[in-house]
Structure 1
Amino acid sequence: MAKSSTDQPSPATPDHNSGGGSAAVPSAGAASAQATTAAKAGMYRHDLDGLRGIAIALVVIFHIWMGRVSGGVDVFLVLSGFFFTGMLLRRGDRGTVGIVHTVRRTLRRLLPAMVVVLAAVVVATVALLPHTRWSDLAGQTLASLFYYQNWYLALSWSDYLAADPSVSPLQHLWSMSVQGQLYLTLLLSIALVAWLCRLFGRGQRMRLMVAGVFAVAVVASFWYAAHGVSTQQGWNYYDTFARAWEPLTGALLAIAAPLVKLPRLIREVCAWAGIAAIVACGWLVNGSAVFPGPAALLPVLATVALILSGAGLTTDRQPRLNRLLATGPMVRLGSYAYALYLWHWPILIFYLGERHERNAGPIAGALIVLASLGLAYATNRFVEEPLRLRSQPATAGTPAAPGATAAAAAQSATAPVSAATPGSRARRLTGVAVATVGLLLVGSTLAWQWSNSAKAHAVGQLDPAKYPGAEALTHGALVPRAVMRPTIDEAPADVPYPTRDSCISDFDTRAVVTCAYGVEHAQRTLAVVGNSHAEHWLPALQILAEQHRFKIVVYLKMGCPLTVAEEPMYKGQRNPDCRDWSREVIDRLAEEKPDWVFTTGTRPADNGGDETPQDYLDVWSELSRNGLHVVAIRDTPWLRRNGIRYRAIDCLASGGDRISCGMKRPDALSASNPAQAPAAAFSQVHTIDLNDAICRPDVCAVVEGNILVYHDEHHLTASYARSLAPELDRQLQPLLGWW
């Protein structure tokens, strides 16, 4: 997703795409006549099925080869709101929306294909990925199955990176969760308005009232999304309410489109301008950094233009572009959009993981496309279609699935199928198979999560005779044969104390959170300030504070080294919370005047090694002007190979060893401490470097002195940090002069 977000096609909507204007079928006989009439009249929007084909093609192309957002998710959200709302309004006109019936139909259309793909991903995970990744994949599987994957990712501030082996094969399903939540919201909202209209005898005004409610919601959601782009884009991208204005725009269009009469020239302009904007969107806008804010107006309004260009016209009278979109190949591709979306991303991610590559080349990418198309066809043919067959004559409000042809619409609406027909049996067998797989899926993922949570725990104090850790590098301590601690199962929970104690502001917390460690009422104070790479020294500093009687106060925020930049960035996203948090922390430090400020002085460079960016020097200037003394510690290596992040525990679980899972030192660290020279210009800034206690001259291994160095891709385990206390003692003593 270079931060490339995955776009999500509109899943099969629960009604035919009549453009929001056709009446529902009142009976089986009338259904036959009406569906046939609609098919003959050409009111079925073949062109919008073709638009789905264009959108899914862009999604796949951009994911596999471009590493950018295509805008397809926005197209699908508008179409979903348009079709779904049109269906609900037609039912509401009859007096009842049918909540239970609609939910049942929608889930019957969405869940089977989802269950099949999730089951395939689970099998591939067990076969191809180390067991250290199973727990997170289990959590994401459940989140996807129950439609809260967007919140799962938002709460972990998962950035939507370009496809690479470190990205989850299920990360693309966040948008499915958003759509599912919005479907339910639309259903309940329209049902409530319809009920109130019936209650007060205002049934004829239902559409007007719905339009008023949705118009207010569009404005509120759009404002919220625009605000979120500049404040919390990492959260904003996944936020259902921030996305709501897009399907609600489609919902308003379902009400207004039948009333709009456009001249032919305007329709032609809308059609060609709309398709041009949709195709160009991925190149013109870095959507992952600005969607669903105002920049998303480009694909949203383009979709609106295409819907309006053909509204109310038979296919043969629509603009030329709409007729091209309504051709057989485009309609067929659109009918596979949902299944194709579900399959292409996990195939891509597993391929990259097996090849240890960041990108799929032209040939490999083409093979991924072919494999995705094949599986999408099979899923549509053998899973989705059998479950769409009705075991009794069609009733009101149950037209054919979107993406089908007009003839298929008429056929599905008219053909009674007895309980003994082969189609009925196939439907029952498919339903039983999917339900069985779904139950197995839930059971296995819950078992994974329980098993892994039971094993993960902080290690606590280790015997230094058996676990010398860093002392094996700094003083040649003997390393006896012993089991590595923390183990690969224990490591994820072997974290520094502020994380354990909720004493670090997370990515979505603007407030300054402080806690005290060491000796609470000591005379001297060390302020530990910055991001999680300042935090992971706390276990070592705690030991020194207890030995030498000083107090530690932490000012920490995830992903936020102290900054004075106007536009601080984190993983390619603006991070204004970091700016505001840093400003308050600097002001508080100036007021509270700790004896020393301890923070990081370097960071990894994009082209290898490490660097001290200008922003760090600006922070040193600010702290120096406030009369503060600073210890700038050189950052520790971040595990990367060919620019791809990886976890030590995953590598070890896959059969690697302490050396092969490590990094060449020149790839991780520059030849000399890059903070040393610039710090010389600041009399109150002093640098220290403990990387000789982490890395050997040629390699930075992931295990030293029987202790695992990292609990994830780049943070020290609390156990290894504690083993660094003697070396940290030796380097801090001359600077602090406290012992």
Structure 2
Amino acid sequence: MAPDAPVPRWITASPVTTEAPPEYRHDLDGLRGIAIALVVGFHVWMGRVSGGVDVFLVLSGFFFTAMLLRRSASADGVGIAATLRRTARRLTPALVVVLAAVVVTTIAVRPFTQWGDISGQTLASALYLQNWFLANAELDYLAPNPSVSPLQHLWSMSVQGQFYLLMLLVVAAWAWLARRVSRRTGRIGLSILLGAAAALSFWYAVDGASRHQPWTYYDSGARAWELLAGALLAIAAPAVRLPNPVRTLLAILGILGVLTCGVLFDGANQFPGAPALYPVLATAALILAGTNAGAERQPWVNRVLATGVCTGLGTVAYAFYLWHWPILIFYLAEYGAPAAGLTDGLVVVGLALALAVLTHRFVESPLRHGAFASSRLAEALRRRMLIPAVCALGAALLGATVGWQASLRVHPATPPVALQVAQYPGAAALVPGVVYAAAPMRPNLFEGWNDSPAPTRDGCITPDREVRSCVYGDLTATRTIAVVGGSHSEHWLPALEVLAADHGIRIVTYLKEACPLTLVDDPAYYHSPFPECREWSVDVIDRLARTKPDWVFTLGTYYRVDGRGDEVPAEFRDVWTALSNRGLNVLAMRDTPRLRRDGVLYRAIDCLGGHGTPQSCGLDRALVLDPVNPAIDATSAYPNVYPLDLSDSLCRPDRCWVAEGNVLIYRDEHHLTASYARSLAPELGRQIGEITNWW
């Protein structure tokens, strides 16, 4: 989501060309200042996407493409190597400093269980691949909290970097061809090419946002149309001649669009689909309003944007953006707060702004413009100290992150396949009279995240609209249980596999990430509309009606998003009705407690890695579970739906620990480890046996 570096000075210091250099756009510097203020303000105090990043993307496409077009008209041409050097000199130093600060701070104040992930994200950010790292992790870009990465915001820097490289090659190829035809013909051809690419990207973004928005949010192909919109404006700019009333109208509409975008749209869950047209068109309007107008003829809105306060903020926008997010995330993590209040938010903003000014003054400017001041001493300091220091810091950063990632791959944390029950009783430790000796916890803190059920490892839980069906257990058995829903249905599979081996059961899975069965587009328990989940659920229910498994195993309760305990959402009852109408029997499992304090989720391994204990890292049972399983009353109206409840095998009467019987219970904030799930098989088998009379 990062803005580009300060607006390049190609406008006043360009190679000799046959065209007069355009006037410097101070108003667009100011627009960047307004955009960064919105980004930071919305992140810190509102936990929303402001649309400011989309403004940055359009401006980046506009300035970078215009720079390439001007250079292509010079005697030396585009100059691929020179452009890469100049762009790297503008963007890399400040990025290296911030990445180094994040790594050092992580080592100093965060549990060691986070080091591997941060090193991977640091490497991805340094190589301008962070957006793909996040897309693969399928992280939702929601309100910041301590469980969010301090480098998550650098996804847009990666998108921009990839765009710069591709656009550089495209314009260089175009410049070579343009020398063989008329320049006017070449510009028309380039416009058609980029326009077609923008249209294709926009279609891809709209389609992707409706199918799998969390991935699409970070997808370079889905974001390209925003940058290409700026590129097309750069091509059209020389021909723009608008009457003053039209300029004024465009400027007013543009600034209103920029200022209101974050209030009118839920960008984290809607962009880069069709709603992103709002900030993109607003930015385009402001660009057009001031194009070829001259400072004295620009609309009053553009003149306000060109004032010192706005342009001053725009000058440090890049560094301000780099610093604000990690400072906010480290603050929230350190104090365990779900959000920053007014006073604390001002501290975060003030610190980020101060560091941005220092970074711009002592890192960006000297390396971009050549000196701290016009003195030989300053130039000597720059060449002999600053440049080597930044290069050494970057080399150390890359060396450390590559080394850590290589070590993790050479020595992977392999979770246990099976544990000795006598030494690792797991859930059996909660049974009165069971005696066992203390032993090192398994899976350990490095193994926990990987101790997942089979569908996560073999791809049988789908991240998208596709319905995937896999078979586990006894493949020849005549008795079938269909495990259906999201990951909270999936994480019971290891226990069901134990029962399948003991009693001859065929297990068929229909699983989709973050998708309990639902028949509505916007479930009340979910944080945003999820029509893809409904479409998938309808298809799965139809398949179940055709295949007729003996039992459907799915989720029966859900945690109260805004309160204590758990409940049966109305959407679950609708699903039970649909399954009942198709003659299907249902095993409705009570959901597992989620680790959260003050609404903030946290990982068990992070708490334990930060010197917590299984007890202190747990939660009071009354906070996460109602005294009586709410599904008991809810299922009484459905003769084919039977509740399952293993809460007493997960929690003690007063508190839910994060490890029992020497076995880690949670592999993250709310999913069971496969090892602990297997220890639940005896109690799960007892309850299923009573309901089905299979044994």
Instruction: State the TM-score, normalizing by the size of structure 2.
Output: 0.96
Q: 1:632 aligns to what SS in structure 2?
A: strand
Deviates more, 1:579-588 or 1:83-92: 579-588
Q: How far did 1:149 drift?
A: 0.8
Q: How far did 1:390 drift?
A: 4.8
Q: Structure 1 431/667 Cα, relative in aligned 2: closer, same or farther at 3 Å?
A: same
Q: 2:461 aligns to what SS in structure 1?
A: coil
Please report the RMSD computed on the Cα atoms of aligned residues, expressed in angstroms. Answer: 2.2
Match of 2:235 among 236, 255, 262: 255
d(CA) in 2 for partners of 1:498 and 1:253?
47
Alignment of 1:343-422 (within 5 A): 343-390=323-370, 422=378
Would the aligned equivalents of 2:51 and 2:267 in 1 still touch at CA under 8 Å? yes
The alignment status of 1:137 with 2:118, answered yes or no, reads: yes
Q: How far did 1:385 drift?
A: 1.0
d(CA) in 2 for partners of 1:116 and 1:677?
58
Aligned AA (2:185): R
Aligned equivalent of 1:685: 641
d(CA) in 2 for partners of 1:611 and 1:182?
47
Would the aligned equivalents of 2:605 and 2:667 in 1 still touch at CA under 8 Å? yes
Aligned equivalent of 1:396: none
Aligned equivalent of 1:473: 430
What do the CA deviations read for 1:617-662 (whole angstroms, capped 9, x no partner)?
1111111122111111111111111100001110011011111100
Would the aligned equivalents of 1:516 and 1:552 in 2 still touch at CA under 8 Å? yes
Q: How far did 1:512 drift?
A: 2.0
Deviates more, 1:321-330 or 1:691-700: 321-330
Would the aligned equivalents of 1:457 and 1:491 in 2 still touch at CA under 8 Å? no
What do the CA deviations read for 1:94-145 (whole angstroms, capped 9, x no partner)?
3622222111211111111000000000000000100001111111111111
Aligned equivalent of 1:498: 455
d(CA) in 1 for partners of 2:417 and 2:423?
14
The alignment status of 1:653 with 2:609, answered yes or no, reads: yes
Alignment of 1:280-319 (within 5 A): 280-319=260-299
Q: How far did 1:452 drift?
A: 4.1
Q: 1:687 aligns to what SS in structure 2?
A: strand
Alignment of 1:466-615 (within 5 A): 466-505=423-462, 507=463, 509-567=464-522, 572-606=527-561, 607-615=563-571
Aligned AA (1:488): L
Would the aligned equivalents of 1:49 and 1:330 in 2 still touch at CA under 8 Å? yes
Aligned equivalent of 2:6: 12
Q: How far did 1:335 drift?
A: 0.7
d(CA) in 2 for partners of 1:580 and 1:252?
37
d(CA) in 1 for partners of 2:460 and 2:254?
49
Match of 1:721 among 667, 677, 680: 677
Aligned equivalent of 1:325: 305
Aligned equivalent of 2:67: 87
Would the aligned equivalents of 2:520 and 2:531 in 1 still touch at CA under 8 Å? no
Aligned AA (2:556): G
d(CA) in 1 for partners of 2:43 and 2:14?
38
d(CA) in 2 for partners of 1:731 and 1:17?
74
Would the aligned equivalents of 1:709 and 1:716 in 2 still touch at CA under 8 Å? yes
Deviates more, 1:234-243 or 1:651-660: 234-243
Q: How many residues align?
A: 692
Q: How far did 1:63 drift?
A: 0.9
What do the CA deviations read for 1:361-386 (whole angstroms, capped 9, x no partner)?
11111111111111111111111111
Q: How far did 1:720 drift?
A: 0.7
d(CA) in 2 for partners of 1:558 and 1:229?
16
Match of 2:174 among 180, 193, 203: 193
Q: How far did 1:586 drift?
A: 1.3
Q: Structure 1 80/428 Cα, relative in aligned 2: closer, same or farther at 3 Å?
A: farther
Aligned equivalent of 2:588: 632
The alignment status of 1:456 with 2:429, answered yes or no, reads: no
Q: Structure 1 193/25 Cα, relative in aligned 2: closer, same or farther at 3 Å?
A: closer
d(CA) in 2 for partners of 1:376 and 1:474?
57
Q: How far did 1:196 drift?
A: 2.2
Aligned AA (1:282): G
d(CA) in 2 for partners of 1:622 and 1:560?
17
Instruction: State the TM-score, normalizing by the size of structure 1.
Output: 0.90
What do the CA deviations read for 1:254-288 (whole angstroms, capped 9, x no partner)?
12222122222222222222212211211122111
What do the CA deviations read for 1:193-216 (whole angstroms, capped 9, x no partner)?
222233x43344222211111111
d(CA) in 2 for partners of 1:457 and 1:568?
37
Q: How far did 1:324 drift?
A: 2.1
Q: Structure 1 449/601 Cα, relative in aligned 2: closer, same or farther at 3 Å?
A: same
d(CA) in 1 for partners of 2:352 and 2:57?
22
d(CA) in 1 for partners of 2:157 and 2:433?
55
Question: % of aligned pairs identical?
Answer: 54
The alignment status of 1:340 with 2:340, answered yes or no, reads: no
What do the CA deviations read for 1:429-459 (whole angstroms, capped 9, x no partner)?
3221111111111121123334445252121
What do the CA deviations read for 1:667-723 (whole angstroms, capped 9, x no partner)?
111111111112111111111101101101110001111111111111111111111
Aligned AA (1:736): T
d(CA) in 2 for partners of 1:322 and 1:125?
42
Would the aligned equivalents of 2:6 and 2:316 in 1 still touch at CA under 8 Å? no
d(CA) in 1 for partners of 2:566 and 2:684?
20
Match of 1:226 among 175, 197, 206: 206
Unaligned runs of 5+ in 1: 1-6, 392-407
Would the aligned equivalents of 2:3 and 2:60 in 1 still touch at CA under 8 Å? no
d(CA) in 2 for partners of 1:253 and 1:244?
14
Deviates more, 1:423-432 or 1:541-550: 423-432
d(CA) in 2 for partners of 1:559 and 1:733?
29
Aligned equivalent of 2:54: 74
d(CA) in 1 for partners of 2:501 and 2:523?
36
Unaligned runs of 5+ in 2: none
The alignment status of 1:697 with 2:653, answered yes or no, reads: yes
Aligned equivalent of 1:170: 151
Deviates more, 1:305-314 or 1:176-185: 305-314
The alignment status of 1:735 with 2:691, answered yes or no, reads: yes
Q: 1:482 aligns to what SS in structure 2?
A: coil
Would the aligned equivalents of 1:457 and 1:492 in 2 still touch at CA under 8 Å? no
Deviates more, 1:637-646 or 1:325-334: 325-334
Would the aligned equivalents of 1:389 and 1:424 in 2 still touch at CA under 8 Å? no
d(CA) in 2 for partners of 1:583 and 1:156?
26
